[in-house]
Amino acid sequence: MSLEDQNMSFEDLNLHPKILKAIAEAGYTKPTPIQEDAIPIIMSGRDLRASAQTGTGKTAAFMLPTLNKLAEPSELPGKGPRVLILVPTRELAMQVATEAMKYSKYLSRMKTVCLYGGVPYPMQIRDLARPYEILVATPGRLLDHCEQKRIDFSRLELFILDEADRMLDMGFIQSVEQLAATLPETVQTLMFSATLKGNIYKLSERLLKNPLEVSVTPVQQNKDNIQQHLYFVDSLSHKLQLLDHLLQNQALEQTIIFTSTKRYAEQLVTILQENGHQAAALHGDMNQHKRSQTILRIRQGKTRILVATDVAARGIDVQAIGHVINFDLPINVEDYVHRIGRTGRAEAKGVAISFAAPNDMLMLKRIEQYIEQAIIPHVIEGMEAQIKPNFSSPRSKPRGGRGFGGGNGGYRGNSGSGGGGYRGSNSSGGGGYRGSNSSSNGGGYRGNSSEGGGYRGNSSNGGGYRGNSNDSSGNSSAGNSESGSGYRGNGNSESGSGYRGNGNSESGSGYRGNGNSESGSGYRGSGNSGAYNGNGGGGARPQRRSFDSNRAPSSKSRYADS
Q: What is the pLDDT of residues 23-72, one digit of tens each?
A: 999 888 899 999 999 999 999 999 999 998 767 789 999 999 999 999 99
Break the chain into its structural domains and give their ranges.
Answer: 3-217, 221-377, 408-556
Q: Whole-model pTM?
A: 0.55
Domain 3-217 and domain 221-377, same fold? Reply is yes
Considering only residues 550 and 271, tell me which one the structure prediction assigns the higher pLDDT: 271
| Residue closest to 410 by CA, chosen among 236, 233, 232, 231 | 236
Average pLDDT, stretch 317-329? 87
Residue 313 φ/ψ, nearest 5 degrees: -80, -10
Task: HSE, CB side, 13 Å, CA atoms: give it for residue 165.
Answer: 20
Amino acid identity, position 262: K
- Label residue 217 by pLDDT band (50, 70, 90): low
Alpha-carbon distance 507 to 505, whole Å?
A: 5
Alpha-carbon distance 456 to 468, whole Å?
A: 9
Average pLDDT, stretch 161-189? 91
> Is 440 a residue whose pLDDT tops 60?
no
Average pLDDT, stretch 165-172? 85
> Is 228 a residue whose pLDDT tops 90?
yes
The CATH number of the domain covering residues in 3-217: 3.40.50.300
Alpha-carbon distance 152 to 54, whole Å?
A: 31
- Label residue 152 by pLDDT band (50, 70, 90): very high
Alpha-carbon distance 52 to 32, whole Å?
A: 11
Alpha-carbon distance 191 to 211, whole Å?
A: 10
Residue 215 φ/ψ, nearest 5 degrees: -135, 115
Strand ranges for 64-122 from DSSP E: 83-86, 112-115
Average pLDDT, stretch 416-437? 40
> Is 449 a residue whose pLDDT tops 90?
no
Cα 485 from chain centroid (whole Å): 40
> Is 527 a residue whose pLDDT tops 70?
no
3-state helix, strand, coil in the chain (%, to 5): 30, 15, 55
> Is 148 a residue whose pLDDT tops 90?
yes
Quick check: helix, strand or coil at residue 297?
helix
Domain 221-377 falls under CATH 3.40.50.300 = yes
- DSSP β-bridge partners for residue 504: 507
The rounded percent of the chain whose pLDDT value lies above 70 is: 65
Quick check: helix, strand or coil at residue 452?
coil
The beta-carbon contacts of 448-453 under 8 Å, at least 24 apart in sequence, are: 448/534, 448/535, 448/536, 449/520, 449/527, 449/535, 449/536, 450/537, 451/520, 452/483, 452/484, 452/496, 452/508, 452/519, 452/520, 452/521, 452/522, 452/527, 453/520, 453/522, 453/527, 453/536
